[in-house]
Structure 1
């Protein structure tokens, strides 16, 4: 159903008028640049994936340290994540000029074209994601040999298909880091030289970096965001299935229900997301409050009905502790909504934090930077407290009000993540809509459309900035819950690695022996000495926390280097071809696109390799306890740092937009120039480092799961 409606919305978008010849020409430049970037990225990824698949095949078949499914699930995860990004990119680049053309007709028409085009991305992600999870589960169930231990067989199946997440995670990291570097190198170059030095408007066709900037919006916020949430969506379902299998291993009937429940909830969420997409509409002359209400209506309708439908589903399934599990689903959904609203409060122009930053712009760039950093730091409070409270509540409800029932409690945390992401089809649509509206505004500006059209596209663009910031907050919150569930799943994978190595009993302190197949997570924590008093755990927590900052530093500096090359290129073109600024010569757009593309591909490799190697080396040096410490430290620091970076960057961006709407002197005032500097600093924060941290914390968990066999075998030698 998701893929059918994605195809339907795509066809409806193509049927709209693409605009006049100039609008089509501009759209063609952006489309060609986006596809050129994807081709280059996929070449690099193909090489990396082939090498890693070969390594995994050697570990699986040559060394017998991994499941034999790993090479195939790894490649499949990467391929479908890339495919979702490709479909989203094709749609977004085709939709921008059609949105601008629809804006000549009315605001409601422009919103319909842009939002339903964004829905293509959302529905493709959930359709391919749920389809793959279900298909791998059925395939594993068919091909894995029957066993007298039916419960143990299901745990083996669900932990095996967890490996699908590795390919999706790595592809997501490439898309997020590479796309983030690309888009911000172009954006910073276009802003610093075009708006600040040359004094020409944003999206002016005289700016050589303007096409690269428009391409970057799609590369980072469509393909990158899609891959990020594809990974979270699949990871949350897979982790919930694995933890459900472990929680009810002794009762096969209840176990199968616990495995099916997260897939079924996700399936119902798809249907309700489609209803939510149709609910998004507005009227001519709508202001920002009305436009936000229109998008909110689609999301809230889906959220309200998923609460009712998931309760009915769990009752029909006759799940053990059905009400507690339903409470965990609702907790995840409410947590996601609150995190999104908290992000909106910190970044939207209609609230005090962003207005405060805009007011501080009158004092110059320094006060803008100080205000933005302060707002970003303060903005971490509500999301962290809400996610922490949501985790405790989901655990408590699903455990049957017994904190000692750890495995069922963690199943509740995982299914809370499924609840948060259940309406991803419409939630991601509201995020992917943003770059389409942004590019539509650029197309209208460069094509010289009238002020009425530009006012409509500006309204959609401003709304898109808010939905993009809200989407990033939502992605960060879902990443935190998913990463926690994956960390718990890691110990379930370790269980079967121990059994494979002949360790069928755990020797606990005091001479107590516990059967490995029946051991609780608490038993594993005692067996591996996973406690804060263990220096291995503590040292690894420091390393995990450090990784969040080192990774962010590497990506921010990568943007700086790539942006430096872009700035020099734009200055060179202005200097060597004076006719560009006079409107008598066309800039070399392709050269700027090439600089961003090459810079992004070169700069993304080292941070990506570091993210993969760190869990492997930690496992080799510090064992299972060290890996758990690493994942805990990385999750804690990465979650908070990601919120700070994303919200401060979003607030700086919208403060600039707020000034451009006529406040504090308006465009070209001293306050405006200061706000452009703030926005430039915030660009790599909100679009490169902040979003990439989501994937870092999930990727380290997934790599740890993949390499659990190596870690266990290494420390048993």
Structure 2
């Protein structure tokens, strides 16, 4: 039996279970008419945003398609490249859209479920998250397997080694399409959600002293819409890109490693096993009806750990049967990535959860004002970078050596790449535990606006707090896998350039010495690009949030009886402002990822591009960890105070913590997560445009 057939079969299984969980959610009661009305407003706003975003994205993709089509006619890229680019973007966007669709249906049902028990609310929100997780892995594997079969058939007459090169080079382009879509979705959604969140908090909490999600706040619906377009649709597109990127980079390195077609299919088969393990793991997420928050967290971890154990066992038999006992080291490389992902997730939780010392110390610093909160949060983020760097460093060395890097350099690189696949193999369930968080956050807002009993809000807040913990873990997986995948892409870039030089008889030899001026300049430019990218994203949030602050203040000043709750605010105005502002700022941010490697390549040649990728990967990885963990600590520090500690809600410490949280919002939900996408997009652009750069570079 051809084992590759398991890949599309497992993708269909994932999509069928996504349908099952969708139907499960939709059968639940939405509750009162007031709850339905609020949920409907959120759905309409989220849908309107995505439609506008996809129109802008369509223009970008049309332009890129034309460019790639012209390059294919000029024989700079494969004839399949323009179409692979489109399908990658389509499936990435579709994953995010479907995740958002079920999330905006599950929020009201989670609210109503929380009137019964905390565990009932978890089941509603987690079922929604399971749809997101399974849709991402299902479509990711479906897209991979479709292209694999098409390309394998088209190039069937070529020798295996040459056939693999054409297959993997074309598949890299659909990874570029997925990255481009993810960048728009993650950054655009991040700008929307954080502009609304920051604007709502600064005027509502700090200036007016009203509770979070108070229906009197004109930005409250925009805030809840933002949870869906940023933390669900954006998250889905982002992790789809990470997932397929890690698999494609491994496939691309199989040729140089000497593993042939067997080495190409192993990453896809490991991912297929991960799908089945994730589906099984979802059924282990259950507790009693009177579950505490600690028990709920244990239930979520039970599902993730079960899936990880299944993969650990099954991957061994897969590697030994496909590659033979002599390549069992590949299995241990997969294991290394899986363990590293769990380790990064744990330490992300340590630095961001209020259960641990760092975040509690940050909350205590709020007693002396906003400045000390911000200083404390930045220092926690900076300190938190040490552990993931050490873990990734150990994982890289271990994967390299275990795969046989001491004897065969290229085999070691393949080991590093496939360790990223191991890290993301549980994505179906880890994404489910992450994506349920925004649903719980929405449920809390609906409970507040619908004026339900205080116990309902307490339960939704418990789920939301739990969601922040699992989100930190999810970001850890995404950032760690991005570092490993980006390293693999750098190796794939070098291999692809050397292959092009050999095929076309060109005169070029890599000189990647650190003292080569081309490499050194590239390193600086790559490191700088991640900071410029983060600056663009942060600045965009600041501009959009400023407009929301002005609008919310205007409504409080001009609408009689709004503060007293006798008049209804104009929610749609804030949604419209966020939508327009987020789309306006996207173009320059997206172009940075595409233009940087092309500009460096044309000016400094392939050596400069290699330096650029190395600089972007190292700096971007550390910056992303710092921003994600600083933001998480600020957020949970604020929630720790809101739970009644250090003076509780309304205290000076709480107001200072809210200011810290508003700074942290664009850190952890806009700029930080998107840096992962940037470094991989730059690598894939470099590979796809390799021939063009070789031909036209000045140096």
Provide the secondary structure at the position in 2 that maps to 1:336: helix
Does structure 2 conserve the Cα–Cα contact (< 8 Å) formed by 1:646 and 1:685?
Answer: yes
Question: Which string of whole-angstrom CA distances, capped at 9 and with x for unpartnered residues, describes residues 154-191 of structure 1?
Answer: 22222221111111000000011111110010000000
Does structure 2 conserve the Cα–Cα contact (< 8 Å) formed by 1:501 and 1:713?
Answer: no
* Residue 47 of structure 1: aligned partner: 59
Q: Distance in 2 between matches of 1:578 and 1:346?
A: 45
The Cα RMSD (Å) is: 1.3
One of 352, 367, 374 as aligned partner of 1:369: 374
Is 1:21 aligned to 2:3, yes or no? no
Is 1:57 aligned to 2:64, yes or no? no
Q: Distance in 2 between matches of 1:541 and 1:680?
A: 32
Does structure 1 conserve the Cα–Cα contact (< 8 Å) formed by 2:120 and 2:289?
Answer: no
Is 1:447 aligned to 2:450, yes or no? yes
Q: Distance in 2 between matches of 1:322 and 1:159?
A: 25
Does structure 1 conserve the Cα–Cα contact (< 8 Å) formed by 2:200 and 2:549?
Answer: yes
Question: Which string of whole-angstrom CA distances, capped at 9 and with x for unpartnered residues, describes residues 473-497 of structure 1?
Answer: 2211111111111111112221332
Q: What does residue range 97-496 of structure 1 map to in structure 2 within 5 Å?
A: 97-144=108-155, 146-147=157-158, 149-248=159-258, 254-319=259-324, 321-399=326-404, 402-403=405-406, 405-496=408-499
Q: Distance in 1 between matches of 2:553 and 2:277?
A: 50
CA shift at 1:358, angstroms?
0.6
* Residue 595 of structure 2: aligned partner: 613
Q: Distance in 2 between matches of 1:145 and 1:714?
A: 32
Q: Distance in 1 between matches of 2:247 and 2:505?
A: 30
CA shift at 1:715, angstroms?
4.2
Give the TM-score taking structure 2 as reference length.
0.97
* Residue 78 of structure 1: aligned partner: 89
Does structure 2 conserve the Cα–Cα contact (< 8 Å) formed by 1:241 and 1:259?
Answer: yes
Q: Distance in 2 between matches of 1:229 and 1:706?
A: 21
One of 530, 537, 544 as aligned partner of 1:562: 544
Shifted more, 568-577 versus 278-287: the winner is 278-287
CA shift at 1:404, angstroms?
5.2
Is 1:674 aligned to 2:674, yes or no? no
* Residue 14 of structure 2: aligned partner: 2
* Residue 639 of structure 1: aligned partner: 621
CA shift at 1:449, angstroms?
1.0
Gaps of 5+ in 2: 1-12
CA shift at 1:135, angstroms?
1.2
Q: Distance in 2 between matches of 1:289 and 1:377?
A: 28
Runs of 4+ aligned structure 1 residues displaced above 4 Å come to none
Question: Which string of whole-angstrom CA distances, capped at 9 and with x for unpartnered residues, describes residues 439-459 of structure 1?
Answer: 011111111111222221111
* Residue 693 of structure 1: aligned partner: 675
One of 562, 571, 581 as aligned partner of 1:580: 562
Q: Distance in 2 between matches of 1:633 and 1:714?
A: 23
Provide the secondary structure at the position in 2 that maps to 1:88: helix
Does structure 2 conserve the Cα–Cα contact (< 8 Å) formed by 1:335 and 1:390?
Answer: yes
Question: Which string of whole-angstrom CA distances, capped at 9 and with x for unpartnered residues, describes residues 412-467 of structure 1?
Answer: 01110000010100000011010001001111111111122222111101101111
Q: Distance in 1 between matches of 2:655 and 2:344?
A: 31
CA shift at 1:320, angstroms?
6.4
Q: Distance in 2 between matches of 1:397 and 1:649?
A: 36
Question: Which string of whole-angstrom CA distances, capped at 9 and with x for unpartnered residues, describes residues 125-179 of structure 1?
Answer: 00000111111011001012512x3222222222221111111000000011111
Does structure 2 conserve the Cα–Cα contact (< 8 Å) formed by 1:176 and 1:688?
Answer: yes
Question: Which string of whole-angstrom CA distances, capped at 9 and with x for unpartnered residues, describes residues 239-264 of structure 1?
Answer: 1111112211xxxxx41211111111
Does structure 2 conserve the Cα–Cα contact (< 8 Å) formed by 1:270 and 1:422?
Answer: yes
Q: Structure 2 vs 1, CA of residues 320 and 46 (structure 1 numbering), >3 Å: closer, same or farther? A: farther
Does structure 2 conserve the Cα–Cα contact (< 8 Å) formed by 1:156 and 1:496?
Answer: no
Q: Distance in 2 between matches of 1:182 and 1:191?
A: 14
Q: Distance in 1 between matches of 2:55 and 2:169?
A: 30
Q: Structure 2 vs 1, CA of residues 680 and 336 (structure 1 numbering), >3 Å: closer, same or farther? A: same
How many residue pairs align between the two structures? 687
Gaps of 5+ in 1: 249-253, 508-526
* Residue 695 of structure 2: aligned partner: 713
Does structure 2 conserve the Cα–Cα contact (< 8 Å) formed by 1:398 and 1:411?
Answer: yes
CA shift at 1:219, angstroms?
1.1
Does structure 2 conserve the Cα–Cα contact (< 8 Å) formed by 1:158 and 1:245?
Answer: no
Question: Which string of whole-angstrom CA distances, capped at 9 and with x for unpartnered residues, describes residues 321-376 of structure 1?
Answer: 33200000000000000000010000011001110011111111111111111111
Provide the secondary structure at the position in 2 that maps to 1:613: helix
CA shift at 1:645, angstroms?
0.4
Q: Distance in 1 between matches of 2:547 and 2:576?
A: 11
One of 594, 598, 617 as aligned partner of 2:576: 594
